[in-house]
Amino acid sequence: MSELITDLGKVAVLMGGISAEREISLMSGKGVLAALLAKGVNAHAFDPAERDLGELKREGFARCFIALHGRFGEDGTVQGALELLGIPYTGSGVMASSIAIDKVMTKRVWIAEGIPTPRYAVLHKGGFERSAVIAVPDNLGLPVIVKPSREGSSIGVTKVMGYSGMVAAVDLAGSLDADILCEECIEGDEVTCPVIGEGASARALPVIRIVAPQGNYDYQNKYFTEDTHYLVPSGLPQGEEEAVQALVLKAYRVLGCRGWGRIDVMIDAKTRQPYLLEINTSPGMTGHSLVPMSAKAAGISYEDLCVRLLQGTALDARAAA
């Protein structure tokens, strides 16, 4: 039997919440909770949609495992509340979380640091004419990817194949976010690479290559079908995998991330240039999720991964002291 972990105090696994990704968060949280209990951790489920966060302090929780996804969980808001409560938590701090949830702000930081990311345009809800929507493909080409700036799990994402599809795609993304990101579509290998740790000690885990039906890695194919294939080892040439890992590590560090994260990447089929799409600072931990899959390939079990992340809980305030 593996060694039990009993010295981490009372632990809240934050799951559910009020974002569009609530369903996935509950799946992640239940998996994390079961893993921590199996390792002997005094862990309890805690849904911020149903309970006041102040109860964490009143009930003596010593730390939190954040298994929330999307807004009000992955965007710095819960992190800020936990800072005020003085309860250490998993994952990135307030600033890194708030930047990383915003795909446009993330791109701006990466571009400033010389990190390749697809060309893009931003439409602000209520602040553009329909003619501007139709003009987007003139600048970015077709197909073009349209998505809300601050959602995850491929919610509200459309791959637009022709001019006639632009208005519906923008309307869908705009129903979820005031900022609509239109992005150049990079055709090629779709890969993802998790990172664990902080600063100079952060390490990139094995790259996973994603092969989805008709190349459509949408919400359904991410979580609810068995038709998507995940290749780890990725099958990329060794030099390419190492280049992706090095690029992902740099991108993670420049945002000031800590604990863990996962960065999604497209590799151009013609040039073999990797382009970074976005970063997840509270990745999924479901049965279909990619961080545990990559960790397993690196010799880290799901249970050990959960404990390792929990052991890395921190507060911005203490780091700055």
Is 264 in the active site? yes
Indicate which residue of 17, 73, 174, 284 is catalytic: 284
Beta bridge partners of 262: 194, 280
Q: What whole-number distance in Å separates Cα of residue 247 and Cα of residue 266?
A: 12
Is 223 in the active site? yes
Is 74 in the active site? no
Is 262 in the active site? yes
Indicate which residue of 19, 98, 221, 280 is catalytic: 280
Indicate which residue of 92, 153, 282, 289 is catalytic: 153
Widest CA span of the chain, in angstroms?
64
Indicate which residue of 223, 252, 275, 302 is catalytic: 223
Indicate which residue of 264, 289, 303, 312 is catalytic: 264
Give the closest residue to 198 by CA, choosing from 156, 255, 138: 255
Q: What whole-number distance in Å separates Cα of residue 154 and Cα of residue 207?
A: 20
Indicate which residue of 262, 275, 282, 303 is catalytic: 262
Indicate which residue of 21, 75, 184, 241 is catalytic: 21
Provide φ and ψ at 29, rounded to 5°. -60, -40
Indicate which residue of 47, 75, 278, 303 is catalytic: 278
SS3 string of the chain? CCCCCCCCCEEEEECCCCCCCHHHHHHHHHHHHHHHHHCCCEEEEECCCCCCCHHHHHCCCCEEEECCCCCCCCCCHHHHHHHHHCCCECCCCHHHHHHHCCHHHHHHHHHHCCCCCCCEEEEECCCCCHHHHHHHHHHHCCCEEEEECCCCCCCCCEEECCHHHHHHHHHHHHCCCCEEEEEECCCEEEEEEEEECCHHHCEECCCEEEECHHHCCCHHHHHCCCCCEEECCCCCCHHHHHHHHHHHHHHHHHCCCCCEEEEEEEEECCCCCEEEEEEECCCCCCCCCHHHHHHHHCCCCHHHHHHHHHHCCECHHHHHC
Is 256 in the active site? no
Is 278 in the active site? yes
Is 86 in the active site? no
Report the catalytic residues: 21, 153, 223, 262, 264, 278, 280, 284
